A = this chain, B = another copy of it.
Amino acid sequence: MDVDERRRPKRLPREVRERQILDAAVLVFSRHGYHDASMDEVSEVAGVSKPMIYAYLGSKEDLFGACIRREATLLFEAVTAGVRDALAPDMQLWHGLGAFFRFVGENRESWRVLHRQAASHGGPFNDELLQMRARAITLVTGLLTRSTPRPERDEQARLSTEALAAALVGSAESLADWWLDHPDVTDKMLASWLMNLAWMGFGDLVDGKVWTPS
């Protein structure tokens, strides 16, 4: 009876604690945003005292940066894993969108942190996030570029392609946000809708033409 195991928190290796702390931080940041989240709350949710966080993960900014980095990497890996290089461009896009919405559906908090909170800073971790988005845009840009038959690409064409990639990435992000308010639809429906918009355009959709995976 000398040791009550529920009250006595076990000593755990650093690696495990760091994961717990990061998990808690993602949750708290996603709920309150960067500034309204307090280190005290993170420590409470993580079940660890505050100095541990500072010892393991550094300052609040460092902690936030670590969250962003971890979640963004996971998301990016999920998307790239979904894209198979050998496929036709439209099918690549299709799989990429599918992987994206699947990830968001399974990791709501991660998505909130990435998209809402991280975007609203001038801080250093914002770069981290912008960089990740830039990689996504690059990915899509390459996909679009490869899908154009003739390679006479002047500066104008290159710019417009990148812009369209940015627009496409943005529409996926916004659709993911819209999803938060309409939880009844599935990830597959979203992917299919956006795919149709991106590949067919409203002009064709109005005429009843649709895109379907070949």
Contacts and interface: CB of A to CB of B under 8 A. Distances in A.
Contact of A167 (B35, B148, B160, B174): B174
Contacts of A121: 33
B169 A174 contact: yes
A211 to B, nearest CB: 7
A73 interface: no
A112 to B, nearest CB: 10
How many copies of the chain does the oligomer comprise? 2
Interface string A193-214: 1101111111110100001000
A74 interface: no
Contacts of A119: 116, 119-120
Interface size range of chain A in the complex: 35 or more
Contact of A178 (B34, B148, B163): B163
Contacts of A177: 166, 170
B116 A193 contact: no
A204 to B, nearest CB: 6
Interface of A: 31-36, 89-90, 116-117, 119-122, 144, 147-149, 159-160, 162-164, 166-175, 177-178, 182, 185, 189-190, 193-194, 196-204, 206, 211
Given A160-B193, A167-B174, 5 more contacts: A34-B35, A89-B206, A147-B206, A163-B190, A166-B174
